[in-house]
Structure 1
Amino acid sequence: MRTFSAIAGSALFLVVAPGVVAGLVPWLLTDQYRKPLSAVPGFVPAGLILVVGAAAILLHAFARFALEGLGTPAPVAPTEKLVVGGIYRHVRNPMYVAVLSIILGQALIFSSRPVVIYGLIAAAAMVSFVKVYEEPTLAQRYGAQYEAYRRAVPGWLPRLTPWRG
């Protein structure tokens, strides 16, 4: 039953948080995706690759939280175990990286300056949240296990080889 609750909670949080940040706001900033596609050669395919690839990573990261951690990314229903498998072996913050990549992809697809500016603001907010809340909370909750993970796995730019801690 705990697994079902974790999956349901993670699915709900996926719709509420990344759905709004990477979906609803860019949708509104691009006039509900009615803006013309970018005329810059290569921007549309590059943007589509970013959006689709990042969406797959985001779904994988959410699944890891539910199935490996038996919890959700939401601070109100955290995981029982530190999540360090799958994509988390390469980067500590794959959800944030994926959301920012989806925003950047949409900025490329529509050549949208407002979406770029929004993405920069979202990035600053995410980095601040991680530094001020998440890292101290995880250090307190998981202690030495998190500290070893944090020292070995970069926060924002993925390592090429998976961490095997």
Structure 2
Amino acid sequence: MSDVTERPNRLPWPPIVYVTAIGVSVLLHVFYPLPWFAQPLSGILVVLGWLMIAAFVALNILAIRAMRRAGTTVRPDRGTDHLVTGGPFAFTRNPLYLAGIMLVLGIGLAFGIAWFLLLALLAAFAVQKLAIEREERHLEARFGATYLDYARRVRRWI
């Protein structure tokens, strides 16, 4: 990346990371299944998993709407034109990435596959290193003190 103000990444890393985490989790479960919780805890976890999947959908819709209202791109490999601080961006600087992790965790809980829990943590780390930290440099270069003030008020994840 030659100019941090131009764009934060060349590749849209977050969706690649989430799809990889889901695929690897499924493969590991097929070839090396891990034990899961017994009833009644497993039943509670299934419900929690489906709630997390629903939250993924809702958070994605709200974040995309907020970005479109602000007139900026949703793509993680494009430069942003406007700093979005409303909607879900008022409580997390990365609602789309938080939603992606909720999806990975939700699938694992809903289907009782322990590998998803480990891979969700690895995916969160990868997204932070490959996307979030680069985007934060991009936003600071583009919006300066305005972004730094926003970053002080709103947490990176939750």
Counterparts of 1:64-103 in structure 2 under 5 Å?
64-75=66-77, 77-103=78-104
Q: TM-score, normalising length from structure 2?
A: 0.73
* Matched pairs, number: 139
Instruction: Give the residue type in structure 2 aligned to 1:134.
Output: E
* RMSD, matched Cα: 2.8
Which residue is equivalent to 1:54?
A: 56
Q: 1:72-126 deviations in whole A, cap 9, x for unaligned?
A: 3322x32211111111011111111111011111111122122222211101112
Shift of the 51–27 alpha-carbon distance from structure 1 to 2, 3 Å rule, reads farther
Structure with the greater relative contact order (CA < 8 A, sep ≥ 6): 1 or 2? 2
The CA deviation at 1:70 is 2.6
1:30 to 22, 26, 33: 26
Structure 2 stretches of 5 or more lacking a match? 1-11
Counterparts of 1:65-144 in structure 2 under 5 Å?
65-75=67-77, 77-130=78-131, 132-144=133-145
Structure 1 stretches of 5 or more lacking a match? 1-12, 158-165
Q: TM-score, normalising length from structure 1?
A: 0.71
The CA deviation at 1:66 is 2.4
Note if contact 2:17-2:126 (Cα within 8 Å) is conserved in structure 1.
no
